[in-house]
Structure 1
């Protein structure tokens, strides 16, 4: 079964989810494209070669740009290497960049496209759960710097996204679980049916790449992000959708409607403020979803200390994430994380801002929490319950 989720951006596009959908890349590019660059990590070399052969049959001149795995690709040296390949190949504004890989690869490929000639078209072909439900949808592109993660970037929407579930078959279990952290996040901030599906199906079904349960979870996660992005394209505070106001969806729209709560696209950063700090402290050796899992438990603890949510909802965070063997504790010191969080994109001046829940599927910003409460919330991560 193939599902299309429409992203109502300035230039609307579809996210196509299903088995074997990568075969539709040539059709998505269209007959006018004569040159394409496929940015991919070493693990996707074989798939990139197959795509090149398919596109070459349609008279497309394809250039493969192999970049390092994971976050190691999102650095300025790799970005300049990609620019050099495009320059040597004579890429023009009528040509296309394709991001084939996980979220780090599609982040980089999108930024390459956004910056070359002030913007050329690009297509995302994510190969991980994390890439499918998070990085490949929404137009956020960028690279990391020594100061932090994703601090240099641009908003640049793809012309389409192909989420080929067949590509998950060889994905390591740890990577699968990492991506599901972002799906679970969507359940807490917007669509509780995601949480119910995880709780009722059991880990064996959820973690089976061929399972229809996983396909449904991926589609639901994409739908949450698509609706959120459509309501607040540039993270200025949405007027509709999860974290926004009254949603403009039809009754049968798979994306909503969800609770209106006024913070727009920032809702998608649930758990990310601490999570990004942990990633930086671990020099990006920890998986993104693992860090975000810990970050979600942290902000749940923080919200409970300001009497926004009850203990039951805090413990539901731990239960759902633990059922997928995702971490809910972190053994490092808090002070370095606090310093890193002060560089977070949501920080305003010296005031830290956290996305928190005020009830299930209803988010808000908690601005300027006391440092003592932050430390107490972090300390709770080392305890199984409060």
Structure 2
């Protein structure tokens, strides 16, 4: 078992990684929570919901709600459903929300916890590789039709309990999505880890490879969040690949491409803008070998994508700010002119579909 610590001015908590943690939740969740609402999605619930509820039911009143799987559930409609469930279950400020799922579940459940009764406790129980990024750091949100994560808050979990056994049941598409964030973390860290990840085959990952990448990614995230909790400085670097990635997701209405797949496309484009040709070629080859849908950018209008980017959280005074790299492990944020983005996107589209 690994225990990593997140320390910020507003909150300190542990991220605990281990096999089978879901079978021992009462060892970690304090007994003062008399009511718990477990939020999950249809895919995860089929595998794990019953066992988690059984493990929590020791003298507690446990409620459950299951959302449709997929990013489209990070919506106003599902947010309202969850709030209705909180009211119907008469949760109070001594109640707990448990987010059992991937990034979508953690984001919306955390946002409900942030806003219900002006804030109650929640715990992240991630089930995906992707959630090693989203479950740490306290950023919770839902999507707007015009942009991703535009409605949200900073609300840290009480802890993150990462049962690494649950990543074994992920479908290939979700493993591919999760490694979009792993690639980002590796590029923000050092060339050795990046080249190591470029040797990974998504359809043949070993448990040891996954655990190693999860630990390193969470350690990096905890370090950055501890230094910049509210994204006023270096935390912006964690948006590498996300400016275009989020625009792609929004343009496709949060359905046909996963978050991590879109982030890989966005990261490839960021490497192109950065002029890091060797890293670009490595990532392009890796993405094609692992069947990332790079060709999807050819279906999208570059002017529409730029308009979506203007709604990015880093945009100021309607001017787009981008996370780029001067070298692997050396990120920076810079303003990119709209005309340059349009030109670069047109060239990028011509390259990636070959």
* 1:28 to 1:191, Cα distance in 2 relative to 1, 3 A: farther
Match for residue 335 of structure 1 among 288, 303, 325: 303
For residue 33 of structure 2, give the secondary structure of its aligned residue in structure 1: coil
Q: Does the aligned pair in 2 maintain the 1:18–1:165 contact within 8 Å?
A: yes
The answer to whether 1:51 aligns with 2:52 is yes
1:41-69 Cα shifts (integer Å, max 9, x gaps): 1122241221111111x211100011121
- Aligned-partner Cα distance in 2 for 1:65–1:384: 41
Give the structure 1 partner of residue 137 of structure 2.
Answer: 138
Match for residue 233 of structure 1 among 229, 235, 240: 229
Match for residue 328 of structure 2 among 325, 346, 360: 360
1:151-208 Cα shifts (integer Å, max 9, x gaps): 00000000111111211222111110110010011011124333232234x41xx544
Cα RMSD (Å) of the superposition?
1.9
Give the structure 2 partner of residue 311 of structure 1.
Answer: 277
The answer to whether 1:275 aligns with 2:276 is no
Q: Does the aligned pair in 2 maintain the 1:297–1:318 contact within 8 Å?
A: yes
- Aligned-partner Cα distance in 2 for 1:147–1:216: 36
- Aligned-partner Cα distance in 1 for 2:212–2:11: 26
Give the structure 2 partner of residue 297 of structure 1.
Answer: 268
Give the structure 2 partner of residue 188 of structure 1.
Answer: 187
1:18-50 Cα shifts (integer Å, max 9, x gaps): 211222322222121111000011122241221
Following TM superposition, by how much is the alpha carbon of 1:209 offset from its aligned partner in structure 2, in angstroms?
Answer: 5.6
Q: Structure 1 length as normaliser, TM-score?
A: 0.86
Bigger relative CO (Cα 8 Å, ≥ 6 apart): 2
* 1:109 to 1:314, Cα distance in 2 relative to 1, 3 A: same
Following TM superposition, by how much is the alpha carbon of 1:73 offset from its aligned partner in structure 2, in angstroms?
Answer: 1.8
Gaps of 5+ in 1: 238-263, 305-309
The answer to whether 1:82 aligns with 2:82 is yes
Following TM superposition, by how much is the alpha carbon of 1:370 offset from its aligned partner in structure 2, in angstroms?
Answer: 4.9
Q: Structure 2 length as normaliser, TM-score?
A: 0.93
Following TM superposition, by how much is the alpha carbon of 1:325 offset from its aligned partner in structure 2, in angstroms?
Answer: 3.0
Q: Summarize the alignment of residues 238-253 of structure 1 with structure 2, pairs less than 5 Å apart.
A: none
- Aligned-partner Cα distance in 1 for 2:179–2:49: 25
- Aligned-partner Cα distance in 1 for 2:271–2:293: 14
Give the structure 2 partner of residue 101 of structure 1.
Answer: 101
**Higher share in helix:** 2
1:227-273 Cα shifts (integer Å, max 9, x gaps): 11111111011xxxxxxxxxxxxxxxxxxxxxxxxxx1000100100
Following TM superposition, by how much is the alpha carbon of 1:369 offset from its aligned partner in structure 2, in angstroms?
Answer: 2.7
* 1:188 to 1:81, Cα distance in 2 relative to 1, 3 A: same
- Aligned-partner Cα distance in 2 for 1:321–1:371: 27
For residue 65 of structure 2, give the secondary structure of its aligned residue in structure 1: strand
Give the structure 2 partner of residue 220 of structure 1.
Answer: 216
